[in-house]
Amino acid sequence: MEELVVLNGGSLNGVIEIPGDKSISHRAVMFGAIADGLTRVRGCLMSEDVLATIEAFRSMGVAIDTRDQGHIKISGVGLHGLKSPARPINLGNSGTSMRLLVGILAGANIDASLEGDASLSLRPMGRIVSPLRQMGADIEMSVNETPPLRVRPTRKLTGISYSTPVISAQVKSGLLLAGLYAEGVTRISENGRSRDHSERLLPKFGIKLDISGNEVRLDGGQRLAGCDIAVPTDISSAAFFMLGAAISPASEILLPQVGFNETRNGVIEILRLMNADIEVRQKDTSGGEPVADISVKTSNLSGVNIPVELIPAAIDEFPAIFIAAACADGVTVLRGAEELRHKESDRISVMADGLRNLGIKVETYPDGISITGGNMTGGFVDACGDHRVAMAFSMATLKASGTVSIKNADGISTSFPTFFEVAKSAGLRIK
């Protein structure tokens, strides 16, 4: 897609069905692939990122049946059943795939190379490769500590105690997966709380974990057993519709069965701080994850200073939050979020450039941004291939005074392949 054009105006209404959670779908496929026996995954997100994970394991000898769209069957090969792929594994745009998969390959005793697209090839991998090397893994990466990665067979891994310098669920999960192959105990601690999908899902496969505060402990040598998994709706995808309903007139939407994990619901807390009219109903559980129906109505938003402690639980939703800030009265300030510069794009810079092009006053910092709410015009925006940036600016048109044209918006399919159909049916005026 060279350019996505969205006409200004309109509102969002109705019950909006969001596809399955991307983070959980990745993990369900990976854990099922190295489990003993059959794993069935219901509601798996069939996006480009998750399909990259599926194809990676197929290339290593795992049979995965995807004929029933979103309801897949994985014939696990066990912890030591993976085979060396015939060619490099291309993971596209998926950082989750690469960081978790390298943890598995570190102990799988096979030879494999991992590569990705131009964006993934710039993302930092030293944060996962360095502790894996401490465990005994034989891994090569570029001199800039970026992909491609080459993993060679190693005689054994040894469990380590490791404190992550950056709060990262991907790093934590990759090290836990390597810990399954290691002798002894693997302990991972963080200076804060990252998303805990791996800790919730691994026990469903029979893995015992000890969790105390922000530390998780795993004994090596445990084997996974195939099981049935139900994937909840993705809150990161739902966030764009929360944004759209909050900023547009005469809007009221219901998002059913959204994943409501407290390590992921920071976007709701932040939007509520901005006075968004959000109601959480019918709390339940699905596949070991909390879920809830979320109702959002038209709101008069106000600028806020975003609490640092909410950043890890909203790290993927800041493009949507930045658009909310541009539509709010007053100034919104975010500091302590340098990690946003290392996502699918430099989201601080790319969002700031786009907002300025739409007439919004913005100031950036190495670790954050200041956005002064105002009258948003139409104009041209470059999403730089970042799916969340493209979807955020699509929703901005609900408040803009003119049409918004978004370049390099093709990345949307990496996380939300049905976005255009869902958004049009809800009221977004996609041309």
The catalytic residue positions are 316
- How far lies 247's CA from each of 197, 291, 321, 376, in Å? 30, 24, 11, 12
Question: Cα 304 to the chain's mean position, in Å?
Answer: 24
Q: d(Cα 169, Cα 23) in Å, to the nearest integer?
A: 10
Give the gyration radius of the chain's Cα atoms. 21
Instruction: Evaluate whether 5 touches 429 at the Cβ level (below 8 Å).
Output: no
Q: Where are the alpha helices (DSSP H) in 204-317?
A: 235-247, 266-273
Helix 387-396 vs helix 318-326: angle between axes, to the nearest 10 degrees? Answer: 20
Show the tokens assigned to 170.
């991907």
Q: d(Cα 222, Cα 180) in Å, to the nearest integer?
A: 6
Show the tokens assigned to 3.
């350019």
What region does 250 belong to: left with phi over 0, alpha with psi -120 to 50, or beta? Answer: left
Question: Cα 348 to the chain's mean position, in Å?
Answer: 17
Show the tokens assigned to 74.
């994985």
Q: d(Cα 6, Cα 111) in Å, to the nearest integer?
A: 46
Instruction: Evaluate whether 398 touches 12 at the Cβ level (below 8 Å).
Output: yes
Q: What angle do CA 301, 273, 192 make, to 5 degrees?
A: 140
3-state DSSP: the chain helix, strand, coil percent, rounded to 5? Answer: 35, 30, 40
Instruction: Evaluate whether 401 touches 9 at the Cβ level (below 8 Å).
Output: no
Q: What angle do CA 241, 281, 21 make, to 5 degrees?
A: 50
The CB density around residue 290, as the number of other CB atoms within 10 Å, is: 17
Instruction: Evaluate whether 10 touches 427 at the Cβ level (below 8 Å).
Output: yes
Quickly tell me which residue has 């596809």 as its tokens: 19
